[in-house]
Chain A
Amino acid sequence: MQTLTAVMGHMVGGLINLTGPGHYIHWGFIQISAANLVVIGLMVVVFAAAILIPFRRPGGRD
């Protein structure tokens, strides 16, 4: 039971701990956190995918 509680507590607390000192990228006057940069990168990937992935055609063909 204690093990289960510990496992659940660990899961609720997050498998990957993102607390602690943040990482930041400085470029001139621009300053951005690594986490924000990753999220923006993922958004760009999703945007590119939305444009480039072909629509499904009637009958299942691309």
Chain B
Amino acid sequence: MTTADETNGRRHGRRFNPDRDVAVWNGKYLPYDLVKEFLIALVVVTLLVVLLAVVFSSPDDHPVTVRSWSTAQPVDFAQTAITELDGSSAVANYGPPYNATNPGATQSIGPFSPERWFGVHHPIDTANDYVIAPLQTLPDRAALDASINAYTSASSSQQANWTTAYEKAVANATFAQGGLKVPSGAYGPVAPMISALTSMARSGALDGALLSSRQFYGTDYTKPLLFIADGTYLANLGQAQHLQGSQWGMMNETGNYPGQAWLWLYTLWYQVAPMKTSSNADLQVWAIMMLLTLILALVPFIPGLRSIPRWSRIYRLIWRQHYRDIS
């Protein structure tokens, strides 16, 4: 049925290579209804989707908002808020794309550092964006306005004295009778500011104030999400649901629902050295996956690798009837 003379390779004056050249088929052809197969597959998959949706439904966890966080753990909220005000939070020191306060924090592999190249394109000034500006939106609060003015007009060393003292004290704070109870100390205007911000957060007003877009259907939740992520509340919820990066969380879904199992290879690299403890882990894992993707795309051109299907002979298992017939 097929001879070497009839191969594409021979026609081009090259020696026939089974991994590169295609032998001309001179045997019988049979009709095959691809549209019919597609429609059958579509119907089967649609029925399966509907059936599984009825039987299992889907995850429906309540969203974590600034309101739910500050209601559940007001002290954690206040502890986080003071780090936003004094610029010691993780977001305040993240570097690009949010701020340029810590250029050394950018991830890099040698000179390769896209984070640094793209720079600050979603600026976040944590003190102003998370504390001062939202408080300024509260109406008819003369005492609070005076506190904000006192804080913003104070010297940076005075501000640091107030925030440092408050940061130490708020660790022992309690929440009772609808208010934050912090041991007394020399916090200046910081105590009423954080107390007011906590009340604002518990009312839900801070969620709205942190949205970048004022449109009815705002979709940019970057600021509230980063604020929430600076606290311990969200991290603890994630830990309990096995969603942390160190728990192969990329693959997991809440509860007993199956998750994104196809991301196993991506999340695997975060579990092994050196990525496990590297400060450049995200970039390193991305680079590994890009390299593997490139290798996958180039399989037809890589000697040895492209021969695996022929060597493994799985095709003979699939087409076993055909090979039985011609033997």
Interface residues on B, range: 20 to 34
The answer to whether B321 and A18 touch across the interface, beta carbons within 8 angstroms, is: no
Q: List B residues 52-95 near A (Cβ within 8 Å).
A: 54-61
Given the known inter-chain contacts A15-B54, A29-B271, A33-B251, please indicate yes or no for A20 contacting B321, CB distance below 8 A.
no
The answer to whether B271 and A23 touch across the interface, beta carbons within 8 angstroms, is: no
Given the known inter-chain contacts A14-B56, A55-B321, please indicate yes or no for A22 contacting B241, CB distance below 8 A.
yes
Given the known inter-chain contacts A29-B271, A58-B30, please indicate yes or no for A36 contacting B55, CB distance below 8 A.
no
Closest chain A residue, CB of each to CB of B30: A58
Q: What is the predominant secondary structure among interface residues of chain B facing chain A?
A: loop
A45 at the interface (CB under 8 A from B): no
Q: List A residues 36-62 near B (Cβ within 8 Å).
A: 36, 38-40, 43, 51-52, 54-55, 57-58, 62
Given the known inter-chain contacts A24-B242, A36-B261, please indicate yes or no for A31 contacting B248, CB distance below 8 A.
yes
Q: How far is the CB of A13 from the nearest CB of chain B, in Å?
A: 6
- The one of B56, B60, B256, B317 in contact with A20, judged by C-beta atoms closer than 8 angstroms, is B256
Q: How far is the CB of A23 from the nearest CB of chain B, in Å?
A: 6
- The one of A11, A13, A31 in contact with B242, judged by C-beta atoms closer than 8 angstroms, is A31
Contacts of A22 in B (CB 8 A): 241-242, 252, 254-256
- Cα of A55 to Cα of B319 in the assembled complex, Å: 8
Contacts of B271 in A (CB 8 A): 29-30
Contacts of A23 in B (CB 8 A): 256
Q: How far is the CB of B139 from the nearest CB of chain A, in Å?
A: 41
Q: How far is the CB of B255 from the nearest CB of chain A, in Å?
A: 4
A12 at the interface (CB under 8 A from B): yes
Q: Mark A2-16, 1 if CB is under 8 A from B, else 0.
A: 000000000111111
* B-binding residues in A (CB < 8 A): 11-24, 29-36, 38-40, 43, 51-52, 54-55, 57-58, 62
